[in-house]
Amino acid sequence: MMSLPSVQNTMLLFQLSLDNSSELDDGFVFDIHPSLLVDCRKLIIGEKIGEGGYSSVYKGWYENCPVAIKVILPEKTNDATPEECKASFQKEVNLLSRIQHENVIKFIGASVEPMMIITELLEGGSLYKNMKRIHPITFSLEQCLSYALDISQAMEYLHANGIIHRDLKPDNLLLTKNNDHVKVADLGLARENICNLMTSEIGTYRYMAPEVNILIYLPRGAKICYDHKADVYSFAITLWSLIKNETPFKEKQGIIAAYGARRNIRPSLAEFPEEIITLLESCWDKNPKLRPEFKEITEILISILFDLYTAKINALASIKPICTDRVDFEIEEESSNVQHTTASLVSTVENETLGPDGGAEAVNSLILDESRDQSGSQAESQSGTQTPFHDLGIPEFCIHQVWIVGLAFKGSI
């Protein structure tokens, strides 16, 4: 006999299957390899954690491993026919199954009835939700660039394999459990870069490259000419949004923002570091041919991060109290004080006329008093010389380098 959760899960799968098949009897035949399909009997569907244009995302378990389950619901949209939804689902499954990169969400399997895509569960949530959670506070520049490096490396991999994302934005970037890394997700609008003719006005207006959006009316699904450099533009707007923790062109409607981008209007770069300004301006250049490839962007980000961390490590190393000769001198002085204290105690005990218990009490009293004096001096000394690493904003993985700098100082002073 099935447990109550199993019964509920079976009923939900059955309902999803009915929803998928209600209007989809269009003769479409899926071209998905059987090895990519999961056994739905091993799938447990939990709470809903997200929603898209024509899909819902649930937390779940597959073979006792936590997963994310994207359920395709064609009846939720008027922008695509059931056949187009099936074709899009098939394309996403086949693309995801080919991708293996640490900064792209991991594909686990799919189901045709109902249409579902099962991926790893990233418990950190979307980058957009995390930005909204801390607003108006911003992430540190180092953290923003670290996330940007993850994104750039993922996009470099996708482009090298002939895949264009076409909807790069904070909503489609997911954080790992401890918020250490970002992974690119939601390849529902992605396509292979076989030719330059692709669907116009696809993606999200605020992050859409100007060549993707057009100023004249075309029928839905019309093809225009653009390439993988559209992702580079979207990356630049995403990085700007991440650093500022703001929605780009927030005072404008999405389609108006897209038209503004077509007229070469870009977000303000006031107060941005010079090296970041140079990067953003090159990535959102109106001419796609002048935008850098993601391989170049990755190299630039690594260089900027290296300079930032080197400057912080040098700042820590230059703190004067870290001088080792001074520390050695204080240790020797402390040792001398201890020897002097011991001699004084022995002399005091020898010169006192002590009763049966008075000697022990006298010695204990002297030791305690001396210990308090020593502790107080030591605490004052420490409070004047110690500087916490985190006050300088240096990440955990960089702290070990500080000790190397310290050893270098000891050898050079």
Same domain assignment for residues 349 and 300: no
| Tens-digit pLDDT profile for residues 44-76 | 999 999 887 788 999 999 998 999 999 998 887
| 3-state SS assignment for residue 57 | strand
153 or 77, greater pLDDT = 153
| 3-state SS assignment for residue 49 | strand
Among 310, 311, 309, 292, which residue's Cα sits nearest to residue 300? 292
Same domain assignment for residues 243 and 201: yes
Residue 326, domain extent:
316-412
Q: Which amino acid belongs to residue 238?
A: T
Q: Which amino acid belongs to residue 230?
A: A
Residues linked to residue 199 through DSSP beta bridges, in sequence order = 223
In whole angstroms, how far apart are CA 171 and each of 134, 150, 238, 329, 338?
15, 15, 10, 57, 63
180 is catalytic: no
pLDDT computed for residue 80 by the predictor: 78
363 or 326, greater pLDDT = 326
Confidence band for 13, pLDDT divided at 50, 70 and 90: low
Write down the pTM of the prediction.
Answer: 0.73
pLDDT at residue 139 above 90? yes
List of residues 6+ apart from 88 with CB closer than 8 A: 80, 188
Question: How many Cβ atoms are within 10 Å of 165's Cβ, its own excluded?
Answer: 26
Domain boundary among 257, 280, 313: 313
Domain boundary among 94, 120, 146: 120
Same domain assignment for residues 58 and 97: yes
Q: Can you list the alpha helix ranges (DSSP code H) found in 63-214?
A: 82-98, 127-134, 141-160
Number of domains in the chain: 3
pLDDT > 70 in the chain, percent: 67
Q: What is the 3-state secondary structure (H, E, C) of 64-75?
A: CEEEEEEEECHH
> Which residue in 167, 186, 231, 285 is the catalytic one?
167
| 3-state SS assignment for residue 94 | helix
Among 12-16, 132-136, 397-401, the minimum mean pLDDT is found in: 397-401
**What's phi and psi for 50, nearest 5 deg?**
-170, 170
Same domain assignment for residues 13 and 92: yes
Domain harbouring 220, CATH code: 1.10.510.10
Q: 177 labelled as ligand-binding? A: no
CB 240 within 8 A of CB 283: no
Calpha distance 16→111 (Å, rounded): 11
CB 175 within 8 A of CB 126: yes
Confidence band for 216, pLDDT divided at 50, 70 and 90: low
The number of angstroms, rounded, from the C-alpha of 103 to the middle of its chain's C-alpha atoms is 9
Among 121-125, 217-221, 320-324, 374-378, the minimum mean pLDDT is found in: 374-378
Same domain assignment for residues 15 and 59: yes
The number of angstroms, rounded, from the C-alpha of 181 to the middle of its chain's C-alpha atoms is 4
Same domain assignment for residues 154 and 296: yes
| Tens-digit pLDDT profile for residues 293-311 | 999 999 999 999 999 999 9
Same domain assignment for residues 332 and 303: no
366 or 120, greater pLDDT = 120
Same domain assignment for residues 256 and 331: no
Same domain assignment for residues 290 and 208: yes
In whole angstroms, how far apart are CA 50 and each of 11, 47, 53, 378?
21, 9, 11, 55
Same domain assignment for residues 233 and 166: yes
pLDDT computed for residue 358 by the predictor: 46
pLDDT computed for residue 394 by the predictor: 52
Same domain assignment for residues 322 and 307: no
CB 232 within 8 A of CB 294: yes
- 317 CB burial (10 A radius; 0-12, 13-18, 19+): middle
Q: Can you list the alpha helix ranges (DSSP code H) found in 167-293?
A: 229-244, 254-262, 274-283
364-389 burial code (b ≥16 CB/10 A, e <16): eeeeeebeeeeeeeeeeeeeeeeeee
Domain harbouring 83, CATH code: 3.30.200.20
Q: Which helix (H) or strand (E) holds 399?
A: helix 396-412
> Maximum CA pair distance of the chain?
111
Calpha distance 306→292 (Å, rounded): 20
Structure tokens at 128: 């957009």
Confidence band for 82, pLDDT divided at 50, 70 and 90: confident
340 or 320, greater pLDDT = 320
Same domain assignment for residues 111 and 208: no
List of residues 6+ apart from 105 with CB closer than 8 A: 96, 119, 120, 122, 174, 183, 184, 185
Domain boundary among 120, 138, 158: 120
